Amino acid sequence: MSLPSYDSRGPFPHTRLRRLRRHAWSRDLVREHRLSAADLIWPVFVCEGSGQREPIASMPGVERLSVDLLPAAAARAAGLGIPAIAIFPATPPDKKTDDAREAFNAENLICRATRAVKQEVGDALGVVADVALDPYSSHGQDGLVEDGYVVNDETLDALTRQAVVQAQAGCDVIAPSDMMDGRVGRIRHALDEAGFDRVLIMSYAAKYASAFYGPFRDAVGSAGALGTGDKRTYQMDPANTDEALHEVALDLAEGADMVMVKPGMPYLDIVSRVKQQFRAPTYAYQVSGEYAMLSAAIGNGWLDRQKAVLESLVAFKRAGADGVLTYFAVEAAEWLREH
């Protein structure tokens, strides 16, 4: 970018960028990026029982809802213009096993929740279903474990069964978050073979082994199962950026319709590189740790809730994200409607 030239004989400076910032209307006129409810996906947690609302201590304001309460919440989101929700199950401990077989039980929490939501809202709201084994495994890992190692190809068999069961329940988007090699291609093939060729795949293409997932693991009950274990043998090293492009390229080649970067704000550079490189539908997840940090600062009166949240969401758009998964989705949609 060349620097503006100035005529020393005239008023200094000729170019005054503050002129465009003087009025609200002029700021609106030249705004480069805009946030709307249509940019948001709302992650929700479901639990067993009836009439249950279970607060999540590490995520103030977020609750696990029993399946019977979820349809009303989904209808509210649809009414605000939010295009999709992502459902995550808090599987009871007695249903967690080493082989995570509850993941492909057609009557598991996520399948019942999906059917209930689709019965309530139909196609007015998309349902995104997470594909990974950690909510169902007794060891808290996203895949099957043999001799202390999370095995790849054996896990793919379980993931494809899980994806087909979720598609049968009526989900619109399969979102594999496991980070096993080759899972997008296997899931795409399995869905097509089962007659679900119109079901989308949103891959967690660049999912990092991050410290920002702690509250989420509390919410789905996998933190205790994982214990002192970690997921660094399959989730990405936070120090790597080129590797993210490799992962995204593979997932797109295997049939992913959309790709995601996770976590969000600490990885906006990855979002930007992915969007610039591939020009594919690109999403980011403002994860539980990000939500918890903002909520803590807001709760202490250090940040203005509305201003801080909306600014954080605009940052995703500025980096190139087409949409954001955020626990603030309903609040943000309400604020945007007011404006």
Q: What is the pLDDT of residue 339?
A: 80
Question: Residue 27: inside a domain, yes or no?
Answer: no
Total number of domains in the chain: 1
Residue 236 carries which DSSP code?
B
In the predicted model, is pLDDT for residue 1 greater than 80? no
Residue numbers belonging to the annotated binding site for Mg(2+): 247
Residues 108-167 have pLDDT tens digits of 999 999 999 999 999 999 999 999 999 999 999 999 999 999 999 999 999 999 999 999
Q: Does the annotation mark 118 as catalytic?
A: no
Domain that holds residue 314: 34-338
Tell me the β-bridge partners of 126. Answer: 84
In the predicted model, is pLDDT for residue 8 greater than 60? no
Question: Residue 21: inside a domain, yes or no?
Answer: no
In the predicted model, is pLDDT for residue 4 greater than 80? no
Q: Which of 96, 118, 262, 275 is catalytic?
A: 262
Distance between CA atoms of 172 and 84, rounded to whole angstroms?
9
Question: Residue 313: inside a domain, yes or no?
Answer: yes
Query: Are the C-beta atoms of 112 and 67 separated by less than 8 Å?
Result: yes
Q: What is the pLDDT of residue 11?
A: 63
Q: What is the pLDDT of residue 314?
A: 98
Please give the average per-residue pLDDT across 282-305, as a whole number.
98
- Which class for 63: exposed (0-12), middle (13-18), buried (19 or more C-beta within 10 A)? middle
Q: Does the annotation mark 96 as catalytic?
A: no
pLDDT band at 204 (very low <50, low <70, confident <90, very high): very high
In the predicted model, is pLDDT for residue 288 greater than 90? yes
Question: Residue 45: inside a domain, yes or no?
Answer: yes
Question: Residue 3: inside a domain, yes or no?
Answer: no
Q: Which two tokens stand for residue 239?
A: 């120090």
pLDDT band at 103 (very low <50, low <70, confident <90, very high): very high
Average pLDDT of the chain, as a whole number: 95
Question: Residue 10: inside a domain, yes or no?
Answer: no
Q: Which of 207, 231, 275, 317 is catalytic?
A: 207
Question: Residue 22: inside a domain, yes or no?
Answer: no
H-only helix segments in 6-84: 24-29, 70-79
Question: Residue 19: inside a domain, yes or no?
Answer: no
Dmax (CA) of the chain: 82
Whole-angstrom CA distances from 302 to 60, 293, 294 are 16, 11, 10
Weakest-pLDDT range from 12-16, 129-133, 196-200, 322-326: 12-16
Cα within 13 Å of Cα(27), Cβ side: 5
Q: What is the pLDDT of residue 7?
A: 59
Distance between CA atoms of 163 and 175, rounded to whole angstroms?
9
Please give the average per-residue pLDDT across 6-18, as a whole number.
73
Return left, alpha or beta for 172; rule: phi > 0 is left, psi -120 to 50 is alpha, else beta.
alpha
Q: What is the pLDDT of residue 297?
A: 98
Neighbours of 200 (CB within 10 A): 18
Residues 213-267 have pLDDT tens digits of 999 988 988 877 777 789 999 999 999 999 999 999 999 999 999 999 999 999 9
Residues 161-187 have pLDDT tens digits of 999 999 999 999 999 999 999 999 999
Distance between CA atoms of 104 and 111, rounded to whole angstroms?
9
Q: What is the pLDDT of residue 278?
A: 98
Distance between CA atoms of 95 and 223, rounded to whole angstroms?
16
**Short-list 164, 166, 214, CA closest to 194:** 164
- The better pLDDT of the pair 73, 3 is held by 73
pLDDT band at 6 (very low <50, low <70, confident <90, very high): low
Distance between CA atoms of 213 and 210, rounded to whole angstroms?
6
| Positive/negative CA dihedral, 60, 61, 62, 65 | positive
Proportion of the chain above pLDDT 90, given as a percent = 90
Quote the pTM value: 0.94
CATH number at residue 205: 3.20.20.70
**Short-list 171, 112, 175, 131, CA closest to 323:** 175
In the predicted model, is pLDDT for residue 210 greater than 60? yes
